[in-house]
Amino acid sequence: MAGKRVLVVDDDVKTVELVKLYLNRDGYKVLAAYDGVEALRLARESRPDLIVLDLMLPGIGGLEVCRTLRSESNVPIIMLTARTTDEDKLAGLGLGADDYVTKPFSPRELAARVRAVLRRLPGERGPTEIKRGKLTLNFLKQEASVAGRPLNFTPVEFKLLGVLIKEPGRVFSRAELVEKALGYDYKGFDRTIDVHILNLRRKLETDPRHPTYIKTAYGAGYKFSEVRSDT
């Protein structure tokens, strides 16, 4: 993953330099922005492979930056912030952020999160394409469609759906989905998976309240429905 470009956005210069130090050690090229306006400009001009984004930014706040970026691209976003409530975390994840790291933080852990998110990008081994019912996932191109309609998934959403679709009918616990889809031991905060599943259903299902593809196994987790090819 050496040579990947990471945009670090934080209004605290020391934080940016600390993150930059650890990411440089892993071979990443690090770009820096200190406010929301600059973050959007660099994201659009430089097209980084991943963005580490603080929520508390001058000018345009981090949530608005995330909302804008997600409407324009599927670039992976890791939020880095002092806000620690579940509501704040769910707000960021609901906008399409891929991960959430709270301050104070371990720069080594953040670097590990960056590696984990980037590992979920195209290039991993496995089937090139899977079709279930009207849903098609192309793993090589990281593209998805249902009945020919393109679906705009974030990297985490695509990975999560990929885990489920490969084993239709199998119930995955939240902990299993965290390990397989997020790529590390996410301590607690199981609602993270719930938010990603909710986002997936909104994009995938005709009626998210009565899903066809992603079913809830109450008290156990989630499974991909064993849909027929003609449904």
pLDDT score for 86: 65
**What is the rounded CA–CA span in Å between residue 175 and residue 161?**
15
Instruction: Tell which CATH architecture fits domain 5-119.
Output: 3-Layer(aba) Sandwich (3.40)
The C-alpha atoms of residue 153 and residue 22 are separated, in whole angstroms, by 29
Task: Give the pLDDT confidence score for residue 231 in this predicted structure.
Answer: 47
Residue 70 vs residues 148, 187, 195: alpha-carbon distances, Å: 22, 26, 16
Instruction: Tell me which H or E stretch contains 28.
Output: none
Of 116, 106, 118, 77, nearest to 19 by C-alpha is 106
Nearest alpha-carbon partner for 135 in 156, 171, 94, 166: 166
Q: What ranges do the domains of the chain cover?
A: 5-119, 129-224
Which residue ranges of the chain lie beneath pLDDT 50?
Answer: 123-125, 188, 229-231
Report pLDDT digits (tens) over 127-161. Answer: 688 888 889 998 878 889 998 899 998 888 888 89
- Amino acid, res. 25: R
* Nearest alpha-carbon partner for 54 in 11, 105, 21, 5: 11
Reduce the DSSP state of residue 27 to 3 states and report it: coil
Q: Tell me, which fold does domain 129-224 have in CATH?
A: Arc Repressor Mutant, subunit A (1.10.10)
What confidence score (pLDDT) does residue 124 get?
46
